[in-house]
Amino acid sequence: MKKILSLILVATMLLSVLCFASCGKKDDNTLLVYTEAGFAPYEFIYNNEIVGVDIAIMQAVAEELGKELVITDVAFDTICTSVQNGKADAGAAGITIRPDRAEQVDFSIPYSSTEQYIIVPASNEAIKTLEDLKGKKVGIQNGTTSDMLIADLIADGTLAGSEIIPYTSPAVAAASMNKQDAVVTDKLTAQLIVANDSTLKAFSLVKADGTPAAEVEEYGICVQKGNKELLDAINKVLEKLMADGTIDKWVEEYSAKAKEVGA
């Protein structure tokens, strides 16, 4: 019996070692980045590959570090937590820099900005402002700032009676417009969605008095707290790409590709 127990103990220890080596530890020669590939032009599927502005940025970061870039497509609302827990080296998915997220992860310098937009059927003349969403069903991507904004407005009574219909991406939400009255998402993504669908239209989310319904947002790339080496490398690359206009060029390039494939 003692011999059997000893063998079981050795086998258990061996499995633990193997799991640590193959399941939990990232390869030092790769840069593992989590994204959500339904947010054109920042990340989307093109010719069966995940491409976009964020992917191009992280490829430049990988080259700066002398590593191979590995992109993994996951649910958006899991990215910051996964980076926080060390499952990924970085998260790049049009992630708005927010104080609550900054408690989980460290953010790069901002590299792009956006505002909230509404998508509605092209024939809809009833929804023009934030207040018009009161009592309506609103399609939104899980865990996004759009989700947080509308949830807060429902909670404080501004949008009393409204209901959030959750989706994995804005594109999926817009494709299911028959299930809700409107979709709320970021500007560029909304503009690309309606550019590929003549039955829809998009416009800035403003209040009845014409003022913006939400503040301008800034995107950042997130890393595990304390990972200064990676954060410094990302910031170095971002500063260069912004200074020479490369990011602006990529926005145009990947917007064109997204329109080409209807992303």
Please say which residue of 183, 204, 225 terminates a domain: 204
Does position 32 have pLDDT exceeding 80, yes or no?
yes
262 confidence band (pLDDT: 50, 70, 90): confident
pLDDT 10s digits, 113-148: 999 999 999 999 999 999 999 999 999 999 999 999
Please check whether residue 181 lies inside any domain of the structure. yes
Q: What is the pLDDT of residue 27?
A: 66
Length of the chain: 263
Q: Mark whether 149 and 173 lie in a shared domain.
A: yes
Residues 242, 248: Cα–Cα separation, whole Å: 8
How far is CA 143 from its chain centroid? 9
Please check whether residue 19 lies inside any domain of the structure. no
**DSSP symbols for 2-46:** HHHHHHHHHHHHHHHHHHIIIIIPPPTTEEEEEE-S-BTTTBEEE
Please say which residue of 155, 170, 204 terminates a domain: 204
Please check whether residue 148 lies inside any domain of the structure. yes
Q: Mark whether 187 and 150 lie in a shared domain.
A: yes
Q: What is the pLDDT of residue 118?
A: 97
Please check whether residue 238 lies inside any domain of the structure. yes
Q: Which residues contact 48 (CB under 8 A, 6 or more apart)?
A: none
Please work out, in degrees rounded to the nearest 5, the angle formed at the alpha carbon of residue 108 by the alpha carbons of 102 and 111: 120
Beta bridge partners of 44: 51
Please check whether residue 151 lies inside any domain of the structure. yes
Q: Mark whether 196 and 68 lie in a shared domain.
A: no
Percent of the chain exceeding pLDDT 70 equals: 90
Q: State the average pLDDT over residues 227-255.
A: 97
Please check whether residue 8 lies inside any domain of the structure. no
Q: Mark whether 100 and 221 lie in a shared domain.
A: yes
Q: What is the pLDDT of residue 40?
A: 95
Among 108, 116, 112, residue whose Cα is nearest residue 133: 116
Q: State the average pLDDT over residues 30-43.
A: 96
Does position 47 have pLDDT exceeding 60, yes or no?
yes
Does position 16 have pLDDT exceeding 90, yes or no?
no
Please check whether residue 14 lies inside any domain of the structure. no
pLDDT 10s digits, 173-209: 999 999 999 999 999 999 999 998 999 999 999 999 9
Q: Mark whether 40 and 160 lie in a shared domain.
A: no
Q: Mark whether 95 and 108 lie in a shared domain.
A: yes
Q: What is the pLDDT of residue 26?
A: 58
Q: Mark whether 178 and 249 lie in a shared domain.
A: no
Q: What is the pLDDT of residue 263?
A: 78
Parallel, antiparallel, or unpaired: how do β-strands 90-96 and 49-51 relate? Answer: unpaired
Please check whether residue 134 lies inside any domain of the structure. yes
Please give the residue range of the domain that contains residue 121.
116-204
Q: Mark whether 137 and 84 lie in a shared domain.
A: no
What total of structural domains would you count in the chain?
Answer: 2
Q: Mark whether 124 and 184 lie in a shared domain.
A: yes
Q: Mark whether 221 and 100 lie in a shared domain.
A: yes
pTM of this structure: 0.84
28 confidence band (pLDDT: 50, 70, 90): confident
Does position 17 have pLDDT exceeding 80, yes or no?
no
Mean pLDDT in the chain? 90
142: domain CATH number is 3.40.190.10
Q: Mark whether 85 and 142 lie in a shared domain.
A: no
Q: State the average pLDDT over residues 79-84.
A: 98
Q: State the average pLDDT over residues 153-157.
A: 96
Q: Mark whether 108 and 121 lie in a shared domain.
A: no
Q: Are 35 and 83 in contact (CB under 8 A)?
A: no
